[in-house]
Structure 1
Amino acid sequence: MPQVLEFRLPDLGEGLTEAEIVRWLVEVGDVVAIDQPVVEVETAKAMVEVPCPYGGVVTARFGDEGTELPVGAPLLTVAVGSPVGSAGDGADADSGAEDSGSGNVLVGYGTGAPPVRRRRVRPEGLKAAVAVPVASVEVVAPVPEPAPGPVAVVSPLVRRLARQHGLDLRGLAGSGPDGLILRADVESAIRSAAEAPAPEATASSAPAGERVALRGVRGAVADKLARSRREIPDATCWVDADATELMAARAAMNGAAGAGAPKVSVLALLARICTAALARYPELNSTVDQEAREIVRLPQVHLGFAAQTDRGLVVPVVRDAHARTTESIGAEIARLTEAARTGSLTPAELTGGTFTLNNYGVFGVDGSTPIINHPEAAMLGVGRIVPKPWVYEGELAVRQVVQLSLTFDHRVCDGGTAGGFLRYVADCVERPVLLLRSV
């Protein structure tokens, strides 16, 4: 006997309580297999694909793209154990007859089955699968009332147009077949809204202007930065350094590696310098337990680095950076940077950092006063490396100069410790041979 099973937004871990629907991977009427990804969502940590633990025919979806849902809210319903073979797709759908499902939650978090090709059931097949007498269907975990059903929209362009203008598609009557909402319907509604008289402005009215929701990754970054400024008494010191020898050392390392070998980046060299400096000044690799009024010095260096993406600023973390070579750090930075670019970073790769390196020189600026990545104790900022006049060995010369900025939590150390850390970093930039002492 067919069952209609409801799949709700699962607990995504890392204390996350909500997620935004970015892209549906299935449509109503599709046949899905156990553990097949059905929706892509964005949390405050990362983009993830959510697999469905049931196999069968999708009978309903809940939430448009761009909708923010809390954990536990309905995502979709699946008719399990239905005679989908009558749709002419063969017996592959038998895998959906398991009532218990797989028990897995997220792709990359224990789901081992490979994604299955999506198949659409022909209308007559869908009717055979789900159009059965109500008395003969056992409904498990029914959708709470009132529960919005899917909107009759086929074109993603129509959805995007409505979303850009803040238009709720559920309030529109479609002029297409069977009430299908067409682009003309959305454009007509937008025109009507634009022609409607604006409400009278009052003293308590909100300021006019474009509004951008602070949610997802951008919202999480905003909350963390605001909390950092509220809770951490930070201070910043900076110094200019002659990076000519560092750039020469990098060129020599890459030249010796040979053609086709991965190149050592400036960021990887700076990361290796940071781990050496933190070994000398462990006070800066710590956090503050405010309730216990204790400084917690951390044994491992999990080095975060700031990366700008289309979805906002993220800080991927290189685990156990203190135990890695420069090449190993560079390879991990390259891997995490690519994952950040494609939006495939996992929550685990974005949390647990103990110290952050921020290379804002890539934006063509010389310096800044970084905001500490709460709950860490310090961040090193690096400006662009550019030719500048510099007194070298008693004579004026053109050298490759960089500005280094250290923002630190004044609760964990005083200016002498922070200055010693920054001076050691600058000395290693100017004379990379100093790193040989800590190898």
Structure 2
Amino acid sequence: MGELVIEMPDVGEGVAEAELVEWFVKPGDPVLEDMVLAAVMTDKATVEIPSPVNGTILWLGAEIGDKVAVKAPLLRIEVAGGVGEAPETSAQMVPAAANVEASSSYAEPHPAIHEQVQKPLASPAVRLQAKEAGLDLHDIRGTGPLGAITHEDMELYLAKGAPARSKSAEPARKTEVEEIRLTGLRRRIAEKMTLAASRIPHITYVEEIDVTDLEDLRSRMNEDRTPDQPKLTILPFLMQALVIAIAEQPGVNATFNDEAGIITRHSAVHIGIATQTPAGLTVPVLRNAEARDVWDCATQLNRLAEAARTGTVLREELTGSTITITSLGALGGVVTTPIINHPEVAIIGVNKIMMRPVWDGNRFIPRKMMNLSSSFDHRVVDGWDAATFIQRIKALIETPSLISIEYVVR
């Protein structure tokens, strides 16, 4: 018998510590090689830590929400069959005698070992989705590695119809309260929003845009698209309009280091796409929109959104944005006051499209109207420049042929 100490792995990019957001095991649980033991979160991504060996959990070195330094002991595993080599970056072997906690004996693993683990194996995003849907993961059959429950397993279970909850004859009065510790991505979101709201003096500019012609064009393009082309939404057109407007107002495509007092204007247009996921809000980045057409933007947009929702987005795809678009789709409301994605200086908020009566000089006619609610860092973007920028976008969206002409020119 031997004991393996699993250390907090070095995830690179200068990260000195990570937050523990999920334990998948507890002391006494048997584990198999490659079984996920824990999930940790850095500023950029969630990382799952697998077991390098077969064995039994002896000790857990942190609680959910704790920040653990790289190379610090995270957990200990009793290894059957003697002490072997361990990955230098994540674990270190020590003699079993060094263990001061009580341990249970462990026999060679058998085919049903993963069924002995009481907690179903699933990623943090899947667990959150199950919690929000009021489902018990024990009821769902996992088809992932080692029986892990995937998003597809959840969708299949819901499609078949989850067991209905019985209702009592009379609604019972509820007195329970629940305290939820802010951890993981939700804590990251809270910290970033607090930083942005406390340090950036926002100015929000709202403009009404007639998208009737654009919606007609989008509908025709979707009808004529080839099988390998994605279905177009309004966002790829807005991205193209942003690129054109930024060329005339480069001050909005910038980041501001307010501590050093340095504004960095970027020639490349890297657009952050605020995306709601089961785990919370993330902002994957569509890079170099200035070098893409509408179809390419749509393809990348779909890919990034799916990766964000399934938790497969790469760390490098979550950093480096120079301006952000936020949209709630059909829930977009009439007006919003978006918070800037620090250290950027502008964010474009898309509201829902509604049919409204518009006076054309002689009569009211039905038109598809949409508001843009956009916020700017008033320290570096003047109100006049913000308004000029949005008015240019308005002109491009209301006359969508201009977007194609400008793309050909550049």
Q: Note if 1:75 corresponds to 2:74.
A: yes
**In 1, Cα distance between the equivalents of 2:117 and 2:97?**
28
Q: 1:361 to 1:59 in 2, by over 3 A?
A: closer
Aligned with 1:250: secondary structure? helix
Q: Deviations over 1:193-219 (max 9, x none)?
A: xxxxxxxxxxxxxxx964332221111
Superposition map of 1:27-426 within 5 A: 28-32=29-33, 37-52=36-51, 54-62=52-60, 66=64, 68-71=66-69, 72-78=71-77, 83=81, 97=84, 99-101=85-87, 103=89, 139=95, 155-156=118-119, 210-259=178-227, 261-392=229-360, 395-426=363-394
Report deviation, 1:413: 2.2
**In 1, Cα distance between the equivalents of 2:393 and 2:97?**
59
**In 1, Cα distance between the equivalents of 2:316 and 2:353?**
32
**In 1, Cα distance between the equivalents of 2:278 and 2:16?**
21
Report deviation, 1:31: 4.0
Aligned with 2:186: secondary structure? helix
- Give yes or no for contact 1:45–1:216 (8 Å, CA) kept in 2: no
Q: Deviations over 1:262-282 (max 9, x none)?
A: 211222222222222222211
Could you say which residue in structure 2 is the equivalent of 1:6? 5
- Give yes or no for contact 1:241–1:429 (8 Å, CA) kept in 2: yes
Report deviation, 1:12: 3.3
Q: Deviations over 1:172-199 (max 9, x none)?
A: xxxxxxxxxxxxxxxxxxxxxxxxxxxx
Aligned with 2:352: secondary structure? coil
Q: Deviations over 1:208-264 (max 9, x none)?
A: 964332221111111111111211122111110100011111112112214564211
What are the ranges of 5 or more consecutive residues in structure 1 without an aligned counterpart?
A: 85-95, 106-136, 165-207
Could you say which residue in structure 2 is the equivalent of 1:20? 20
Q: 1:331 to 1:66 in 2, by over 3 A?
A: same
Q: 1:221 to 1:149 in 2, by over 3 A?
A: farther
Report deviation, 1:23: 4.8
Aligned with 1:262: secondary structure? coil
Say how many residue pairs are matched. Answer: 339
Identity across the alignment (%): 32
- Give yes or no for contact 1:246–1:430 (8 Å, CA) kept in 2: yes
Could you say which residue in structure 2 is the equivalent of 1:200? none
Larger radius of gyration: 1
Q: 1:393 to 1:306 in 2, by over 3 A?
A: farther
Specify the code of the residue in structure 2 equivalent to 1:50: I
Could you say which residue in structure 2 is the equivalent of 1:189? none
Aligned with 1:156: secondary structure? coil
